[in-house]
């Protein structure tokens, strides 16, 4: 008996049921089961920069001027035949070019539309251009196709009418990479293209594009997108992707993007992937983004700046150790410090910026507090040291060591006042400019600083150039101030300065009201001006002839090549800085030689005296090829002139030569010997 596979045997209790093997009793194929729904196929992942690429002019962010001009051009029918789009990477140059190509070829949903600033996105031309397969929109990367033959292909293609669209559009990216011959081959076609051809160029290096090409194009400068606008844009995209980022995290990504939308979207894509991998359920915070970017936490950057500016190297190095352990690059951290100094300086210069909505909360609160506490000279000095330190870090073999040395230097100059501020306060009779512990000075009364030719040492150890010229010496606590502006430190700050010369004042401090004016000579006036107006001092030194001088009255003759309005400028400076009614008049009389000319004469006199010395003449006789070097007289001031109190006695001291068996010494040793 044959039993078919479809025979019903389930009703017979004596026959066992076959095992459910998925087949018939004798191997026949069972009846097909109901088909299951196919699993959805997931295509390759598209990064956010491609997924959210703008498709209309309204989608462009931060380019309001370009959008407005293009809209008006399409509305008035004044669309150019060639465009030059320039800007940093990632601001939308190629995207804008594709939008223009769609706007030129859009025919509308009904197929009867014309060029429009708002392409429909559904017609055949719009869909093909969006899919990068339109036969009349040709894109060329000039970075890989730079030769003249590539340009000739484009020129040959312009002779044919469009195959599908209304206009042939040639988009050449990175056009500055074309060779000179390629540019020359393109010029004629670019100037007079066929009516159905439009050229759109994109470049990040506009300076490398020949001006002959620029003059044939309408130029659009795509700007960097502001950080606040970038952060808001990234927040919308993150929400669309089902991710949640804190405002601080978005601000960090926007700042790292540096105005580039594409760079920021790439970082946002990475941050979202990191947050999804951790799956802790919380929003993506600034710490996570900082770790991803290799940056230090913004709050720790503020802590580091406060530690540096308060002179705490141990605390600063502790912060850098923690940042290094977390994987942060200390060179990048110095860059963050530099950026923070710039932000604080802007808040100092423009207090209204503290109310700006795009300023992060940390910059608004802690940055504003730092701006109130720090002075502009301190901020400028910190900026300069950090700027130089960054270059040292880039050249150093160990970036961490170089960065830490920069921070240590910053800590140990934190309590130093600016040299100009110190000299100005001491000149005005104050003592509050001295900060930090006092140190011993290697300069005594007999050294070069006494005559104004050496270096003055500030109370915190920083050397500042002394001013030339003589003058009285005034005592202020542990400091002695030369009336011409030089500053020297006494051996003991606690003890008053002991007068060593008749010109010095007694031990008791002199009240400011009783300090007589020190500008009693022309050279003292020159020294007074040198620390306040460098340009004026230079013209007074080289092109100003003194005709007559008396306290509060100066007559001068200024050479034709001198600074215009020098007399008025000098008079205004003296009145403002001294509080006295100085009068400076221009004269036509010959007057004295300029101080620069007088110094040159003294130097020539010394050289002539040295050349005529018997020993020097004997040396030249024995060694005819010998050359006399510079003749230096340590008794001269910075202008190459003898001190004014000794100028009437002798012009130059007698030349003395050491014996033949004497040991060689350095000039520093000579100075120390003179002081002793």
Cβ atoms of 257 and 267 closer than 8 Å = yes
Q: Which of 199, 221, 243 is the last residue before a domain boundary?
A: 221
> Quick one: 71 and 217 in the same domain?
yes
Q: What distance in Å separates the CA atoms of residue 284 and residue 241, rounded to the nearest whole number? A: 13
Q: Kindly report the CATH number assigned to the domain that includes residue 576.
A: 3.30.300
438 sits in which H/E element: none
Assigned domain for 404 exists? yes
Which position has the token pair 């001269």? 636
Asked if the structure places residue 505 within a domain, the reply is no
477: left (phi over 0), alpha (psi -120 to 50) or beta: left
* Among 388, 412, 436, residue at a domain's last position: 412
In a domain, 503, yes or no: no
For the chain, what percentages of helix, strand and coil (3-state, to nearest 5) are there?
A: 45, 10, 45
Name every residue whose Cβ is closer than 8 Å to that of residue 410 and which is 6 or more positions away in sequence: 308, 309, 382, 385, 386, 389
Q: Is position 33 within any domain? A: no
Q: Are residues 208 and 95 in the same domain?
A: yes
Model confidence pLDDT, tens digit, residues 594-634: 888 887 777 777 778 877 888 888 887 878 877 777 776 66
Based on the fold, state whether residues 258 and 299 are members of the same structural domain.
no
Model pLDDT, residue 428: 67
**Of 254, 378, 393, residue with least CA distance to 305:** 378
Same domain? For 147 and 126 the reply is yes
Residues 317 and 233 in one domain: no
Say which CATH number the domain at 152 has: 3.40.50.300
Span 404-438, pLDDT tens digits: 999 999 998 887 777 677 667 667 654 443 444 33
Residue-wise pLDDT for 176-205, tens only, equals 999 999 999 999 999 888 999 999 999 999
What's the chain's average pLDDT? 75
* Residues 216, 162 share a domain: yes
Q: Which residue has the higher pLDDT, 27 or 150?
A: 150
Q: Answer with the one of 412, 442, 477 that is the final residue of a domain.
A: 412
CATH number at residue 364: 1.20.272.10
Q: Which two tokens stand for residue 674?
A: 């003179």
Residue 340 lies in a domain: yes
Question: Do 118 and 200 reside in the same domain of the chain?
Answer: yes
Same-domain pairing of 122 and 256: no
Q: Would you say 266 and 293 are in contact if contact means Cβ atoms under 8 Å apart? A: no
Are 94 and 189 in the same domain?
yes
164 shares a domain with 57: yes
586 & 613 share domain:
no
Tell me the pLDDT tens digit for each residue of 444-454: 333 333 333 33
Domain shared by 167 and 239, yes or no: no
Q: What's residue 202's pLDDT?
A: 94
Residue 34, Cβ density class (10 Å: 0-12 exposed, 13-18 middle, ≥19 buried): exposed
Domain interval for residue 232:
227-292
In a domain, 389, yes or no: yes
* Domain contains 366: yes
CATH code where residue 240 lies = 1.10.8.60
Cα 20 to Cα 593: distance, rounded to the nearest angstrom: 123
Count of domains observed in the chain: 5
3-state secondary structure 376-419: HHHHHHHHHHHHHHHHHHHHCCCHHHHHHHHHHHHHHCCCCCCH
Reported pTM: 0.52
Q: Return the sign of the alpha-carbon dihedral for residues 363, 369, 371, 375.
A: negative
5 within domain boundaries = no
């Amino acid at each position: 008996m044959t039993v078919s596979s479809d025979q019903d045997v389930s009703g017979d209790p004596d026959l066992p049921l076959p095992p459910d093997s998925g087949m018939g009793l004798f191997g026949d194929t069972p009846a097909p089961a109901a088909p299951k729904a196919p699993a959805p196929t997931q295509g390759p992942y598209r990064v956010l920069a491609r997924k959210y690429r703008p498709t209309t002019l309204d989608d462009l962010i931060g380019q309001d001027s370009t959008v407005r001009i293009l809209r008006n051009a399409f509305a008035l029918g004044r669309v150019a035949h060639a465009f030059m789009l320039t800007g940093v990477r990632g601001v939308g140059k190629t995207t804008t070019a594709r939008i223009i190509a769609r706007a030129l070829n859009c025919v509308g949903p009904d197929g009867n539309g014309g060029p429009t600033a708002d392409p429909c996105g559904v017609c055949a031309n719009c869909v093909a251009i969006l899919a990068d397969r339109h036969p009349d929109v040709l894109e060329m990367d000039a970075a890989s196709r730079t030769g003249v033959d590539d340009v000739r292909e484009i020129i040959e293609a312009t002779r044919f009418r469009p195959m599908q669209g209304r206009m042939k559009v040639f988009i050449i990216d990175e056009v500055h990479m074309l060779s000179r011959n390629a540019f020359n081959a393109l010029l004629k076609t670019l100037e007079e293209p066929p009516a159905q051809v439009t050229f759109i160029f994109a470049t990040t290096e506009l300076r490398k594009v020949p001006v002959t090409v620029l003059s044939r194009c309408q130029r659009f400068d795509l700007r960097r997108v502001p950080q606040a606008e970038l952060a808001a844009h990234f927040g919308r995209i993150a929400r669309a992707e089902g991710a949640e980022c804190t405002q601080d995290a978005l601000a960090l990504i926007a700042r790292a993007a540096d105005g580039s939308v594409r760079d920021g979207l790439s970082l946002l894509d990475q941050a979202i992937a990191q947050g999804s991998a951790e799956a802790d359920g919380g929003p993506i915070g600034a710490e996570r983004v900082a770790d991803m970017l290799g940056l230090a936490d913004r709050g720790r950057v503020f802590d580091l700046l406060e530690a540096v500016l308060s002179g705490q190297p141990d605390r600063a190095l502790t912060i850098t150790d923690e940042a290094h352990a977390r994987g942060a690059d200390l060179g990048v951290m110095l860059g963050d410090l530099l950026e923070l100094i710039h932000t604080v300086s802007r808040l100092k210069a423009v207090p209204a910026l503290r109310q700006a909505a795009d300023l992060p909360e940390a910059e608004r609160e802690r940055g504003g507090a730092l701006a109130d506490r720090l002075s502009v000279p301190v901020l400028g000095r910190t900026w300069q040291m950090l700027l130089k330190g960054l270059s040292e870090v880039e050249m150093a073999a160990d970036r961490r060591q170089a960065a830490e040395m920069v921070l240590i230097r910053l800590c140990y100059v934190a309590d130093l006042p600016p040299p100009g501020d110190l000299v100005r306060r001491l000149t005005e009779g104050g003592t509050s400019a001295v900060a930090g512990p006092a140190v011993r000075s290697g300069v005594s009364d007999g050294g070069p600083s006494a005559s104004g030719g050496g270096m003055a040492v500030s109370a915190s150890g920083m050397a500042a150039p002394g001013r030339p010229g003589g003058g009285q010496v005034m005592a202020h606590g542990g400091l002695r101030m030369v009336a011409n502006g030089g500053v020297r430190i006494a051996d003991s700050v606690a003890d008053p300065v002991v007068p060593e010369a008749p010109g010095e004042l007694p031990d008791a401090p002199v009240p400011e009201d009783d300090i007589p004016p020190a500008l009693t000579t022309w050279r003292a006036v020159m020294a007074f001006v040198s620390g306040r107006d460098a340009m004026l001092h230079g013209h007074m030194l080289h092109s100003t002839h003194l005709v007559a001088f008396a306290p509060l009255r100066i007559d001068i003759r200024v050479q034709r090549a001198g600074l215009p309005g020098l007399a008025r400028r000098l008079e205004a400076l003296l009145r403002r800085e001294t509080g006295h009614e100085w009068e400076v008049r221009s004269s036509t009389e010959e007057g004295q030689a300029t101080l620069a000319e007088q110094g040159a004469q003294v130097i020539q006199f010394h050289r002539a005296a040295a050349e005529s010395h018997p020993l020097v003449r004997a040396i030249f006789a024995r060694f005819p090829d010998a050359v006399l070097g510079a003749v230096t007289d340590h008794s001269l001031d910075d202008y190459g002139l003898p001190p004014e109190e000794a100028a009437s006695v002798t012009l130059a001291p007698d030349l003395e030569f050491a014996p033949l068996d004497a040991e060689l010494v350095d000039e520093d040793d000579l100075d120390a010997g003179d002081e002793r």
